[in-house]
Amino acid sequence: MSHAQYFLEATYLIASCLFVLGLKGLSHPDTARRGMIMAAAGMAAAVIGTLFHPDIHNYLYIAIGLILGSSIGIPMAMVPMTAMPQRTALSHAFGALAASMVGIAEYVIHGSKLGPVKVGALGLEVMLGSLTVTGSLIAAAKLQELMRGTPIMFKGQQIFNLALFIVMVGSFVAWIVNPAAQMFFYTMVGCAFVFGIMLVIPIGAADMPVVMSLLNSYAGLSSAATGFVLGNNVLIIAGTLDGFSGFILSILMCRAMNRSITNVLFGGFGAAVTQETAVTGSMREVGLDDVAVQLAYANQVVFVPGYGMATAQAQHACRELGNILEERGISVKYAIHPVAGRMPGHMNVLLAEANVPYSSLYEMEQINPEMQSTDVAVVIGANDVVNPDARDNPKSLIAGMPIIEVDKAKSVVVLKRGKGKGFSGLENPLFFKPVTGMLYGDAKTSLTNLVQAVQKV
Ligand code: NAP
């Protein structure tokens, strides 16, 4: 081995260790930041090591790619945190596109001269990569609300999907048997691109967290397969870590939402009849002073943050209100739904940023039994995660998804701007219940005004 190769393998080893340590760090909020820094350092080590690869003789294209990639990547990283899920979906699409293109290039260069193991890995890489590209783009469009969030279905969809799947896998197998047959290879690629679209369009917006983590897993497995094709150890390790952690996350998200993976992936493929509960009556608007009095004389107040708190950046005002109530001897708790917001741990991150202690954060299973003894539940820009239809209406699109049962509290105050629906596009019967009062306005403004109003009580 040359010095350059020793250096390369050493940096890959360091990078792999940093990825493992980074992943370990991400398992707890206290160590998550350090975990991210380690993973980023690992990626930097892998990139720097690769620049010393003995096969690289000309740095011009690499420099062009670096400039192009950075000029796309830097603005992409500047998006507000509320847009992070769609940004992540785009990253998955780019990563998977890179894996597919490397695979296609390898096939174009080496053709049928690739050994049987490499042919299998390459086929898997290109198939998973291609369906992840289009699937992630559709997920990004749904998350950005460029496409409607409710499932998109059409007549004969199930048969079409099944036929597509058979042709895609059939072409994959036929190509492995005869790698010289380009037709099978390119049919597989084409079918995989269409399959990615078909996989995601019938999935409702509320189930997007599971789809995202599953696409993350596919992108990782595709990169691992790329590693086998190129004989690149760091790609195999990083891709496998990504693939399996994404898969474990999908299972955890499914559990949190009381879904089975097959139900999420194939539920939309069937002709499930969904029906919203017909809501009657009107929403009852409450005034700032009324809410301030309720809060000031409560024994226990539970804040339930959702996506609206993130868009309003209301976490600091929420913490300030919490502090004032605690100073008055009121018990204040923060209820965290696992899919509140737009990414796993979204609410934890925001509340941690506002210095809310972890001991004040309660998971759904911990807080629900306490709801009946809660005087005021304050819903801050949450909607789907407090929608009682998920519990009460078996025909609802979100039926079975566990919710924070704020409707069991003695009083509910909902902070939102108007009559906007949740991410699932469903009406929320909670807002029409007699126990609920609506405090309209931007969540940050409402909370800031409440801080002053409570101080005057
Ligand atoms: P949500 O269902 O998206 O509802 C958010 C509510 O916030 C809206 O009804 C909106 O009503 C209100 N809002 C928006 N901006 C506001 C502002 N500035 N001030 C006050 N209110 C504001 O949110 P959620 O209850 O957190 O549920 C999350 C949803 O996202 C679930 O369906 C989940 O499955 C999905 N999802 C989650 C993840 C994840 O990993 N966490 C990822 C992808 C998708 P107005 O317009 O009337 O103000």
- How much distance in Å is there from the Cα of 342 to the middle of ligand 1? 8
Per-residue model confidence as pLDDT tens digits over 266-288: 655 444 445 666 677 788 999 99
Is residue 27 scored above 90 in pLDDT? no
- Position 251 scores a pLDDT of 87
Per the domain annotation, does 405 fall within a domain? yes
**What pLDDT digit, counting tens, does each position of 171-180 carry?**
999 999 999 9
Q: Which of 214, 416, 447, 449 to mutate to test the pocket of ligand 1 (most atoms within 8 A of CB)?
A: 416
Q: Is 416 in the pocket of ligand 1 (CB under 6 A)?
A: yes
Active site residue 55: no
Q: Would you tell me how many other CB atoms lie within 10 Å of the CB of residue 62?
A: 12
Is there a domain that residue 397 lies in?
A: yes
256 and 304 housed in the same domain? no
- Range in 163-172, 212-221, 320-329 with the lowest mean pLDDT: 212-221
How many residues can be counted in the chain?
Answer: 457
Both 300 and 388 in a single domain?
yes
> Which segment, 153-167, 235-249, 364-378, is predicted with the most confidence on average?
364-378
Question: In this structure, which residue's CA is closest to atom 45 in ligand 1?
Answer: 420
Q: Is 14 domain-assigned? A: no
Q: Do 255 and 313 share a domain, yes or no?
A: no
d(CA 393, CA 276): 8
pLDDT at 266: 64
Q: Kindly report the CA angle at 63 between 227 and 125, in degrees rounded to 5?
A: 20
Give yes or no: residues 357 and 414 share one domain.
yes
Atom of ligand 1 nearest to the CA of 417: 48
Of 269, 302, 331, the residue that ends a domain is 269
Atom nearest to 346 CA in ligand 1: 41
Q: How far apart are the C-alpha atoms of 10 and 16, rounded to whole Å?
A: 10
Same domain, 217 and 308: no
Q: Compute and round to an integer the Cα radius of gyration of the chain.
A: 25
CA nearest ligand 1 atom 1, residue: 422
State the residue range of the domain holding 382. 288-456
**Within-domain flag for 200:** yes
pTM: 0.78
Indicate whether 278 belongs to any domain: no
Report the C-alpha gap between 320 and 380 in whole angstroms. Answer: 14
Q: Would you state the pLDDT for residue 175?
A: 94
Does 208 contact ligand 1 (Cβ within 6 A)? yes
pLDDT at position 118, please? 87
- Tell me the CATH number at 366: 3.40.50.1220
List, for residues 42-55, the tens digit of each pLDDT value.
999 999 999 988 88
212 and 324 co-located in one domain: no
For residue 442 and ligand 1, the question of a CB distance below 6 A is answered with yes
Q: Is 403 in the pocket of ligand 1 (CB under 6 A)?
A: no
Tell whether 263 and 310 lie within a shared domain: no
Q: Whose CA is nearest to atom 2 of ligand 1?
A: 422
Instruction: Answer yes or no: is 51 within a domain.
Output: no
Confidence class of residue 254 from pLDDT cuts 50, 70 and 90? confident
Q: How far apart are CA 203 and CA 259, in angstroms?
A: 13
Kindly state whether residues 264 and 303 are assigned to the same domain: no
pLDDT tens digits along 79-113: 887 788 888 899 999 999 999 999 999 999 988 78
Give the number of domains in the chain. Answer: 2
Is residue 37 included in any domain, yes or no? no
Burial (CB count <10 Å: 0-12, 13-18, 19+), residue 274: middle
* Ligand 1 near 397 CB (within 6 A): no
Locus of tokens 């390790």? 237
Q: How confident is the model at residue 418 (pLDDT cuts 50, 70, 90)?
A: very high
Q: How many A from CA of 430 to the centre of ligand 1?
A: 15
Residue 34 beta carbon below 6 angstroms from any ligand 1 atom = no
pLDDT above 70 coverage of the chain, percent: 96
- Model confidence at 394, in pLDDT bands (50, 70, 90)? confident
Q: How far is CA 334 from CA 178, 377, 387, in A?
A: 59, 10, 18
Centre of ligand 1 to C-alpha 309, Å, is 8
342 in contact with ligand 1, CB cutoff 6 A? yes
Whether residue 421 is contained in a domain is answered as: yes
Mean pLDDT of the chain: 90
If one compares 384 and 29, the residue with the highest pLDDT of the two is 384
Specify whether 187 is located in the same domain as 307: no
